[in-house]
Amino acid sequence: MESQHEKTHTRWTICLKYLLFLFNILFWLAGGAVLVVGVWTLVEKSNYISLLNSSFYSASAYILIAAGVIVIVTGIIGCCATLKELKSLLIVYLILLLCIFLLEIIAGLLAFINYQELDDELRQNLRVTMQQKYQQPGEESITQSTQAVDKRQQEFKCCGSNNFTDWRDSVWIQAKDDQRLVPDSCCITPSELCGRRDHPSNIYNVEGGCIMKLEDFILSQLYILGAVSIGIAFLQLLGMMVTCCLYHKLKKDPY
């Protein structure tokens, strides 16, 4: 017959199992969300890549996808270890949690460290793209750059890298004979040849231009990713604590 101590010990083990199983469900959902964000970033926001020379943006998307897959696999391992009460698998699970936790910290630090470099690159390349590559015949990357510029100007309601006067030095504008002063994507209500008038009543005239809008967008994304990473990291710390407690209880529990 079980003693009171053994019953209490067993109840704690069962409680820890349920807590760890709940954590794994949340962790698995978080991994799925990260995977979806990575795929969405690569598919929907891929035209940002054409505004950058480096592969930082696309690499970030692939890292998110890889992280999502690793988190999902880790969550499955955690569920199996918890349900089957496999101490060796719990150790593997704990090591994986620790590795993911450390990678999150490193990735977060690199993102904020590289922000200024990415910002400077974006400033330079956006101006070059608008002045030299926009609507120029050539390879597919140039066409993507044109589409990216048009989409950014409409999405962020801006015109030019710093303001609409940047378009006056554009190779495309200087070569046109249709009297357009800015691309039609600068217009508040886009229509064919609406770019002939660069009056503020017709085009977007935002202080700071598209550069400022893009900077605000990227910084807001970094803050969101940072907040989410901190939340997931805190959840992981709790998961590692529960895993250690469960492992300790399983070693002592003979039942």
Residues 6 or more apart whose CB falls under 8 angstroms from that of 54 comprise 118, 121
pLDDT of residue 132: 83
Q: Has residue 116 got a pLDDT over 70?
A: no
pLDDT of residue 184: 92
* Residue found under tokens 């926001």: 45
Please say whether the beta carbons of 50 and 141 come within 8 A. yes
pLDDT of residue 1: 44
Q: pLDDT digit string (tens) for 190-235?
A: 888 898 988 888 999 877 788 888 778 777 776 776 676 777 777 7
Give Dmax over CA atoms of the chain in angstroms.
97
DSSP 8-class letter at 157 = T
End-to-end Cα separation, the chain, in angstroms: 12
Q: pLDDT digit string (tens) for 156-171?
A: 899 988 888 889 888 8
CB atoms under 10 Å from CB of 5, counted, come to: 8
Residues 6 or more apart whose CB falls under 8 angstroms from that of 246 comprise 13, 16, 17, 20, 82, 90
Top pLDDT among 29 and 183 is at 183
